Amino acid sequence: MRTKLSIATVRGEFLRQVEAISNENLLACNQCGKCSAGCPIASTMVDILPNQVIRLTQLGIEDVLDSQMIWACAACMNCVAHCPKGIDLPRIMEALRLVAMQKKGDRMAVNQVPLEALGEIPQLAIIGGFRKYTI
């Protein structure tokens, strides 16, 4: 099944939104892959690589909002440290998460975290997690 590209997608509202929320120039990315090469999360188990998240967004393909990767970014900044174009991927991931949640609602609810875990897990994780997965 082919992905249809046109001005409406490649210069469409979706890309503009992500660029505005993140304040990043996504078109500067030439897909060198250094971000993916150093991503500790991508080396474990996600469906697409960070550079592919950027690629799909560059092309205005909104399916990227269904990927696991954007929810798995922990903003460790290993990508930012080495990106030759200085692109801040965590900001782009956050923008994508916000767009996704505006369309489809919160990603996580409190009752999803098992009660025993709530007692053991450091507050930082709970607050941080909920800030990223709810709006």
Binding site for another protein (CB under 8 A): 21-23, 30-45, 48-49, 51-52, 71-72, 74-78, 80-86, 88, 90-91, 93-95, 98, 107-108, 113, 117, 120-133
Residue 8 vs 74, nearer CB to another protein: 74
* Cα 57 from Cα 87, distance rounded (Å): 14
Nearest distance from residue 31's CB to another protein, in Å?
6
Nearest distance from residue 6's CB to another protein, in Å?
25
Residue 11 vs 102, nearer CB to another protein: 102
Give me the DSSP letters along 59-121.
TT-GGGGG-SHHHH-----HHHHH-TT---HHHHHHHHHHHHHHHH--S--GGGS-HHHHHHS
Per DSSP, 2 falls in state P
Residue 8 vs 28, nearer CB to another protein: 28
Nearest distance from residue 68's CB to another protein, in Å?
9
Residue 36 vs 60, nearer CB to another protein: 36
Backbone angles phi, psi at 52, to 5 degrees: -75, -30
Nearest distance from residue 32's CB to another protein, in Å?
4
Q: How many Cβ atoms sit within 10 Å of the Cβ of residue 43? A: 11
CA nearest 55: which of 44, 64, 43? 64
